[in-house]
Amino acid sequence: MAYSLNDVYRFLRIVMRLNGVTVGLGLGLLLLAAAKGDLAAWGVFSGGPIWPVRMAGGLLAALGVTLLLAAQERIVSGPSMVGMSLANALLAGVLLLAYLQQEFVMLNLSGRLLLVGIFVMCLIGAIFPLRYVRAEYVSH
């Protein structure tokens, strides 16, 4: 059913996979494995202990794996959708607050475009599952 054309969760699965690969695994593994110098050059790390950045990367990678696994389920459960929506809403909120506090002024054009892309992916991941959660809630 997950791969058929009449799957009601088809677009949700696409969003879950795309979000899991880009925001979850992509950004997470980047924060987890990048060198201190690279993170400092990108403006992500400004000195001090590196473990908060690494921990955030590990948690984002775990979120990505969770989304990829949830997208493979025959029926995507309501808790999976709520978890995806909540995690992405919190990420989008953190990025928005950091932007409003002008914490991204040191980014170049490509960094700003990447940041906007991540923010848009987080917004899509936060809003898109709500339609399916509502439909599941109404059907029960």
Per-residue pLDDT tens, the chain, 140 aa: give them.
Answer: 455 678 888 999 999 999 999 999 999 999 999 999 888 887 778 888 999 999 999 999 999 999 999 999 988 998 999 999 999 999 999 999 999 999 888 888 888 898 999 999 999 999 999 988 877 655 65
Amino acid at 113: L
CA-CA-CA-CA torsion sign (26, 28, 32, 34): positive
Taking the C-alpha atoms of residue 54 and residue 30, their distance in angstroms, rounded to an integer, is: 9
Helices (H), 20-77: 28-33, 36-42, 51-71
Determine the Cα–Cα distance for residues 113 and 61; give it in Å rounded to an integer: 21
